């Protein structure tokens, strides 16, 4: 289990040091939500490599815990202390309600190739989301999937009835809480730093995350029953402070865009086979772990509850969310048709 130390006085001091406006141009600060070698770190390190090899700028990467929780690094980016941030819609969805679209269950396909094609080609992802993020002062540089969501709990879950009276941790957006309500559970929104301890002490009975993170964060040690429900993908987003980005000379804007493209391509390579490798590591490390893959009939019992979450999404987001959802579905249909 890696240490989850939060922002300390020393951390703030380190951040403030050299915080002159002149330094911003040359030393860019970039924070993400994960640990060394995890998917967001792979993206950030490749972004840094590209920037540093192709310019005189340098990039300082801060990992989870160095500057606080996900909401803290977003606040620091919006106030201009950081230039770049990787934050998942699981948290951004609290301020950009449309970003909660990723939590409508069974909307995304399960197969990775189709999902990747969707991220490359989707108008909703590549044209509509950048406008929504810009309204909040953010330049959206890349949205990307990290892995299929898997539920972990204190018992295997095979039906909505198994979720009864189970407190399932969700990221802190209201729609994901609706999903778990619809699934029959008691949703418990918490920031990441409280999840391992919460599972260990029984404050929560389960949670959802991609396999690589269940392995990396040691979640299987305290929540050993893994269920593949096929209900969604963990998606994330890398962005810049919009004023900072707009103020860059054209050549630096191009550098940032090219570095994001390079980081995306590299990260997509990285996630190929990652879930399988991580599951092997988990199974080698623990005899307690069980793996349940829901069959079609079992999936159907959860899928039946998706329309109420979709309705809730539209209630929360109005016309803007409705348009986004229609485009999202059209984009999904286009890539699914290609597969056939
Ligand atoms: O569950 C969470 O909160 C975390 N999960 C992942 C895969 N990345 C960062 C996020 O904070």
**Tens-place pLDDT, residues 193-204:** 999 999 999 999
| Ligand 1 nearest atom to the CA of residue 192, by list position | 3
Atom 7, ligand 1: residue with shortest CA distance: 213
| Ligand 1 nearest atom to the CA of residue 234, by list position | 7
Atom 5, ligand 1: residue with shortest CA distance: 209
Using a 6 Å cutoff on CB, does residue 33 contact ligand 1? yes
Give every CB contact of residue 249 below 8 A, 6+ residues apart in sequence: none
- Dihedral over alpha carbons 58, 253, 77, 171 (to 10 degrees): -110
Cβ atoms of 306 and 106 closer than 8 Å = yes
Tokens, residue 258: 């090219």
Which of 213, 215, 235 for a ligand 1 pocket mutation test, highest count of atoms within 8 Å of Cβ?
A: 213
Using a 6 Å cutoff on CB, does residue 217 contact ligand 1? no
How many whole angstroms separate alpha carbon 276 and alpha carbon 219? 16
- The per-type count for the chain, helices as H runs and strands as E runs, is 17, 10
Cβ atoms of 237 and 140 closer than 8 Å = yes
* Cα 328 to ligand 1 centroid, rounded to whole Å: 23
Rounded to the nearest 5°, which phi and psi values hold at 61? -100, 130
Atom 4, ligand 1: residue with shortest CA distance: 192
Q: Which pLDDT tens digit goes with each residue over 307-326?
A: 999 999 999 999 999 999 99
Cβ atoms of 192 and 316 closer than 8 Å = no
* Cα 55 to ligand 1 centroid, rounded to whole Å: 31
Confidence of residue 87 (pLDDT cuts 50, 70, 90): very high
Confidence of residue 25 (pLDDT cuts 50, 70, 90): low
How many whole angstroms separate alpha carbon 328 and alpha carbon 314? 13
Give every CB contact of residue 34 below 8 A, 6+ residues apart in sequence: 40, 41, 63, 64, 213, 216
pLDDT at 337: 84
Which of 171, 173, 199, 218 for a ligand 1 pocket mutation test, highest count of atoms within 8 Å of Cβ?
A: 171
pTM, two decimals, is 0.93
**Helices 250-271 + 39-54 axis angle, to 10:** 140
* Cα 187 to ligand 1 centroid, rounded to whole Å: 16
Using a 6 Å cutoff on CB, does residue 70 contact ligand 1? yes
Which of 88, 194, 219, 236 for a ligand 1 pocket mutation test, highest count of atoms within 8 Å of Cβ?
A: 88
Say how many residues make up the chain: 340
Using a 6 Å cutoff on CB, does residue 234 contact ligand 1? yes
Nearest to 236 by CA among 149, 309, 298: 149
Q: Which residues pair with 149 in a beta bridge?
A: 210
State the CATH class of domain 27-338. Answer: alpha beta
How many whole angstroms separate alpha carbon 238 and alpha carbon 230? 25
* Cα 250 to ligand 1 centroid, rounded to whole Å: 33
Atom 2, ligand 1: residue with shortest CA distance: 192
Cβ atoms of 281 and 215 closer than 8 Å = yes
pLDDT at 13 over 90: no
Cβ atoms of 18 and 27 closer than 8 Å = yes
Atom 9, ligand 1: residue with shortest CA distance: 33
How many whole angstroms separate alpha carbon 192 and alpha carbon 70? 8
Read off the DSSP letter of residue 154: S
Nearest to 41 by CA among 60, 59, 61: 61
Q: Which residues pair with 31 in a beta bridge?
A: 62, 85
Nearest to 322 by CA among 93, 97, 138: 97
pLDDT at 19 over 60: no
Q: Cα–Cα–Cα angle for 289, 290, 293, nearest 5°?
A: 140
How many whole angstroms separate alpha carbon 175 and alpha carbon 180? 9
How many whole angstroms separate alpha carbon 41 and alpha carbon 69? 15
Atom 3, ligand 1: residue with shortest CA distance: 192
Give every CB contact of residue 35 below 8 A, 6+ residues apart in sequence: 2, 41, 63, 64, 216, 217
How many whole angstroms separate alpha carbon 48 and alpha carbon 293? 38
Q: Is 31 strand, coil or helix? A: strand
Using a 6 Å cutoff on CB, does residue 46 contact ligand 1? no
What are the residue boundaries of the structural domains of the chain, listed by start? 27-338
Q: Which pLDDT tens digit goes with each residue over 144-191?
A: 999 999 999 999 999 999 999 999 999 999 999 999 999 999 999 999
| Ligand 1 nearest atom to the CA of residue 210, by list position | 7
pLDDT at 26: 83
pLDDT at 339: 66
Using a 6 Å cutoff on CB, does residue 192 contact ligand 1? yes
How many whole angstroms separate alpha carbon 101 and alpha carbon 115? 15
Q: Which pLDDT tens digit goes with each residue over 121-132?
A: 999 999 999 999
DSSP3 helix / strand / coil % (the chain, rounded to 5): 55, 20, 30
Atom 1, ligand 1: residue with shortest CA distance: 192
């Amino acid at each position: 289990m890696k240490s989850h130390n939060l922002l300390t006085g020393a951390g703030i001091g380190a951040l403030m040091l050299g915080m002159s406006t002149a330094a911003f141009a040359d030393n860019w600060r970039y924070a993400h939500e994960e640990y060394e070698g995890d998917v967001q770190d792979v993206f950030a390190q490749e972004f840094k490599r590209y920037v540093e090899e192709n310019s005189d700028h340098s990039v300082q990467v801060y990992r989870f815990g160095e500057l606080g929780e996900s909401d803290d690094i977003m606040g620091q980016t919006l106030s201009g202390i950081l230039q770049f941030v990787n934050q998942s819609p699981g948290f951004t969805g609290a301020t950009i309600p449309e970003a909660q679209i990723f939590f409508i269950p069974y909307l995304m396909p399960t197969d990775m190739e189709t999902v990747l094609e969707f991220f490359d080609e989707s108008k909703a992802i590549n044209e509509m989301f950048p406008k929504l993020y810009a309204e909040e002062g953010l330049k959206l540089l890349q949205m990307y999937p990290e892995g299929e969501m898997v539920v972990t709990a204190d018992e295997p879950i095979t039906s909505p009835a198994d979720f009864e009276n189970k407190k399932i941790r969700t990221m802190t957006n209201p729609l994901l809480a609706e999903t778990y309500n619809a699934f029959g559970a008691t949703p418990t929104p918490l920031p990441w730093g409280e999840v391992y301890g919460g599972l260990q002490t029984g404050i929560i009975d389960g949670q959802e995350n991609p396999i690589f993170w269940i392995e990396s964060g040691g979640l299987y040690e305290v929540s050993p029953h893994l269920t593949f429900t096929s209900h969604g993908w963990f998606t994330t987003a890398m962005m810049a402070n919009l004023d900072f980005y707009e103020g860059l000379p054209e050549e630096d804007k191009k550098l940032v865009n090219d570095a994001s493209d390079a980081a995306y391509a590299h990260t997509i390579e990285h996630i190929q086979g990652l879930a399988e490798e991580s599951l092997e590591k988990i199974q080698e490390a623990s005899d307690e772990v069980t793996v349940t893959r829901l069959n079609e009939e079992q999936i159907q019992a959860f899928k039946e509850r998706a329309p109420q979450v979709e309705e809730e999404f539209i209630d929360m987001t109005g016309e803007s969310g409705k348009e986004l959802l229609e485009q999202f579905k059209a984009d999904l249909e286009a890539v699914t048709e290609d597969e056939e």
